[in-house]
Structure 1
Amino acid sequence: MDHRSAIRRLALPGAVLLALGGCTGGAGKPGAAGVRDGLFPKLGNGGYDVEHYSLALDYDPARNHLTGTATLTARATRDLSAFNLDFAGMDVNSATVGGERADADRAGDELTLRPADEIEKGARFRTSVAYSGTPKTLTDQDDSHEGWLRTADGGALALGEPAGSMAWFPSNNHPGDKATYDIKITVPQELTAVSNGELKSKVTAGGRTTFTWHTGEPMASYVATVAIGKYDIAKESKTPSGLPVYTAVDPAVRKKTADVVGRLPEIVEWEKENFGPYPFSSTGVIVAPEGSAEYALETQNRPVIPADQLDNETLVHELAHQWFGDSVTPKRWKDMWLNEGFATYAEWLWSEDHGGESAQAHFDEAYAKAADAELWAFPPAEPPSAAEVSHEPVYERGAMVVHKIRRAVGDDMFYDIVQGWTKEHRHANASTEDFTRFVEEESGKDLTDLWDTWLYGDGKPKSP
């Protein structure tokens, strides 16, 4: 994200409903409402793990009205008499579990479903929620906006970091639960609907067009997206190594953004050399209308970048997140520096390799900031609240931690560590503790002083 301006793919037919595994005879208890994340304790839910989301959405932009059905295939991690989904605002019309009607209760942004029969631990089950209404725009603790954002071209943009996905579909809305996705969106035929993954079909009938997108690799809910508008989807091209590229650009800015968008294949190939194999089956970018969002976001497969924020550095940053954040996803929101520190450091490396300032020069410029500058307000691994999770210490001081590792272990070992890290945790979740342990094991060095000073230490370090 840029505020500067064991999971299996299920191949089950849609009509098949999964058995609940039988009644547990009253042994089940409700799953937790929230996973007690230190920064966002109400996000996510306990008691189950989602394996796949199938979303069928129909949007009427004239009324800003969304009708949807979300079908989740999940596995119970405990005996369940009920379970929660994160869902904000819209009306729930009906809900089923295992094909049978389930009671549905709302309390704020929590939707509680009570199946007709309890679900046994280890059982795979399918639940469907039909809903409709006006999707909400959410205001974050740092006063930025996410969720469902209406755009000037008569469309909408769905952005989800950290909580916004629950504004347009019910989910287990925490980075710790990743799943595969099928997202079908029906819109007026003069508009285009873009999402994650690959475009599987486009069907027009009765003045409306349905776009079906498939994401076959695990994805956290916060990097799921839908962009609806007058987008031109470029004919699928490929990077030099054969990776499919989908670009969706607001036609009003296609000409002035062409140079930057045209560098996308080059940037992806450069990042592969530095960070290891690209983790997904396609790449690209969504260039949204100017002013449509206050930030760019690393939505999986193709980041969303408003046209007025698009430049080489932002594209480098958001594409780097495909490795750091989208593939290797934080276990908790406090681990966000692993996303943003590496993505910011990717900008420094790009500059170093393309005739700009070296990474060391970027580090020195950052260190020169006064001791009372925001950069030193808190340690990157310890954001004090949800409002600070996207602030400068997480980004720039996080990048400084990465550079200190590079200096401590040398360039050859540094790139071995980076590529080993993205391989070891590909499509999984990892914490700060996982990372520091991995670095020390791979390098054979005790880096306690580095962690204590730069990653966890308060204030400006005494020396660079």
Structure 2
Amino acid sequence: MFLRSRLTLAATAAGLVTVLLGSTASAVPAPGAPGIGDPYYPTAGNGGYDVSHYNIRLTYNPATDLLSGSTTILARTTQELSSFNLDFLLPVKSVRVNNFVAKADAANGEVVVTPPAPLASGRDITVVVQYEGKPSTVKDATGFTAWKRGPDGAALAIDEPNIAPWWFPSNNHPTDKATFDVSVAVPQGVEVLSNGTFAGTTPQINGWVRWNWRSARPQAPYLTYIVIGQFEVRQSTAPNGQPVINAYGDDLGANAESARASVERTPEVIEFLSSVFGDYPFEAQGGVVSTGVGFALENQTRPVYSTAFFRRGANTSVVSHELAHQWFGDSVSVNTWRNIWLNEGFATYASYMWAESQGEGTAAEIAQYYYDSYPADHPIWQVTVADPGSGNEFDSAVYDRGAMTLQALRNAVGDSAFLQILRTWTAQKRYSTGKIEEFIALSERISGKPLYDLFNTWLFTKGKPAGLGNPAALSARSAGHQVPKAIEKLDLTRNELHAH
């Protein structure tokens, strides 16, 4: 009787593990792939599961750079899994899968999680990772540290294409988007900015303050960020009723007012871009200006700008560029990183369109100016924009030649078809990803014109194309070769962006 009871209890426990973790006899469970299949970044992302939500709850001490806390991941398995990977660089203290302690082996930015029993395909899973470390001291396999830390202890988790591994474990690729809750406790008097809507602050028993943020729309891991430091935080409401939160570093100096004169116009710029690209895809607006970063990045709902963009005065060119990314890059993301033209070429051209709306030269004039400014032997014409190569995603050709490609397309199909193409693209691919070939097919379908030669010349072939075509709407001012008023700010913007 005693032996039988022991065996019954053991069988019951084994059954409970099977129920909670899921296993099946229909197939042999296998490890999830350590990469999602991106040719440029083979280990980015992971196979075997899709994430629906991240709950990131952290404590950060700016004085010591110590980051600690947990990330809870809600996901669904897409195959039988004996183990799966997370992209992460900080030291892991523990991992639980569906409340059971799991084995975690970490090396080279990959954490291999092995639950005590296999996971069945099509099961919802909850993964909780506890961790602690100093992000600025951690390097990836190439020796790079994406976490940025200022001399005053300010910290910025901002970069592209990778930043998530320095502060939360994830399926780190744009093809697996999720919603986010981000909560960070910091000392009193320190501010924390992130994506989405502000869910308020909560006092901690040690006198610290916890800042809470929520992203309710699908968001790629690299677009999820935190900025920690001394900021003036401004809250307002946009004409469309959305919350607007802007933040300006206390150390902006002479650039402070120029930054405010630019970023405070965010709702106006979004209103214009919405009239061109369709409804704004997210739930909140804003921007952050900091001395701790040397570039601008289109973090979802709230881009971050280097103070350097405003050293010559107000600069809405960079604001329009980063806000255009909310459609091209954030809502419609790259399917693989070689499709980066769909982000940067489009955002650059959007800044031309914004300049035109401000009476500072037409988009056609600006594109023609840049086409003329690059001689035939310039390196920009030797980059294949449709496949610039790993590490070259932010080459000036992707931005400038990429924007010229869109003007050439506009010249070929006309304004009406061109705008219909853009609006259809953003609507059909909303919260998803896209490929260059899909955009070409859409352009041909809507315009009714064969566009293979145009795209092949501009995106897939080295060498300077013969010209942009002849836009019917090109202003007579172009005949006088006047340099549009927008060029100075556009040049400043593009130089800083290319430095990134």
Aligned partner letter, 2:316: N
1:452 is aligned to: 456
1:48 is aligned to: 49
- Cα shift readout 1:368-400 (whole Å, capped 9, x = no counterpart): 21122132121211112x221111111111111
Map of 1:308-387 to 2, 5 A cutoff?
308-310=308-310, 311-368=315-372, 369-384=374-389, 386-387=390-391
- Cα shift readout 1:179-212 (whole Å, capped 9, x = no counterpart): 1000110000110111111111201232200011
- Cα shift readout 1:7-66 (whole Å, capped 9, x = no counterpart): xxxxxxxxxx99755223471100011123111111111111111111011001111110
Quote how far apart the aligned CAs of 1:461 are. 1.5
Change (3 A) 1:170 1:222: same
**Could you tell me whether the CA contact under 8 Å between 2:72 and 2:126 is conserved in 1?**
yes
**Could you tell me whether the CA contact under 8 Å between 1:45 and 1:85 is conserved in 2?**
yes
SS of structure 1 residue aligned to 2:403: helix
* Unmatched segments (≥5 aa) in structure 2: 1-16, 469-500
Quote how far apart the aligned CAs of 1:177 are. 0.8
- d(CA) in 1 for partners of 2:138 and 2:418? 39
- d(CA) in 1 for partners of 2:134 and 2:316? 36
Aligned partner letter, 2:417: M
- d(CA) in 2 for partners of 1:18 and 1:426? 38
2:247 is aligned to: 248
- Cα shift readout 1:218-250 (whole Å, capped 9, x = no counterpart): 000111100001112212x12222222111111
- d(CA) in 1 for partners of 2:221 and 2:199? 20
**Could you tell me whether the CA contact under 8 Å between 1:18 and 1:98 is conserved in 2?**
no
User: Is 2:396 aligned against 1:392?
Assistant: yes
Map of 1:17-416 to 2, 5 A cutoff?
20=20, 22-25=22-25, 27-88=28-89, 90-136=90-136, 147-205=146-204, 206-235=206-235, 237-253=236-252, 254-288=256-290, 290=291, 292-310=292-310, 311-368=315-372, 369-384=374-389, 386-416=390-420
| TM value normalised by structure 2 | 0.85
- Cα shift readout 1:338-383 (whole Å, capped 9, x = no counterpart): 0000100011111122121222222222222112213212121111
> For the aligned residues, what is the CA RMSD?
2.0
- Cα shift readout 1:259-316 (whole Å, capped 9, x = no counterpart): 112222211111111111000001100111x2x1221100001001122224211111
SS of structure 2 residue aligned to 1:85: strand
- d(CA) in 1 for partners of 2:107 and 2:249? 38
Count matched residues: 442
Quote how far apart the aligned CAs of 1:141 are. 11
- d(CA) in 2 for partners of 1:109 and 1:398? 32
Q: Which has the higher contact order (CA 8 A, sep 6+)?
A: 1
SS of structure 2 residue aligned to 1:93: strand
**Could you tell me whether the CA contact under 8 Å between 1:162 and 1:222 is conserved in 2?**
yes
Aligned partner letter, 2:118: E
- d(CA) in 1 for partners of 2:407 and 2:466? 17
**Could you tell me whether the CA contact under 8 Å between 1:239 and 1:269 is conserved in 2?**
no
Change (3 A) 1:34 1:202: same
2:489 is aligned to: none
User: Is 2:413 aligned against 1:436?
Assistant: no
1:14 is aligned to: none
**Could you tell me whether the CA contact under 8 Å between 1:18 and 1:125 is conserved in 2?**
no
- Cα shift readout 1:63-87 (whole Å, capped 9, x = no counterpart): 1110020111111111100000111
SS of structure 2 residue aligned to 1:449: helix
SS of structure 2 residue aligned to 1:147: coil
Quote how far apart the aligned CAs of 1:331 are. 0.5
Runs of 4+ in 1 over 4 A off after TM superposition: 17-21, 137-143
- d(CA) in 2 for partners of 1:365 and 1:140? 40
SS of structure 1 residue aligned to 2:340: helix
Q: Share of identical aligned residues, percent?
A: 40
**Could you tell me whether the CA contact under 8 Å between 1:60 and 1:66 is conserved in 2?**
yes
Moved more, 239-248 or 70-79: 239-248
SS of structure 2 residue aligned to 1:455: helix
- d(CA) in 1 for partners of 2:187 and 2:38? 40
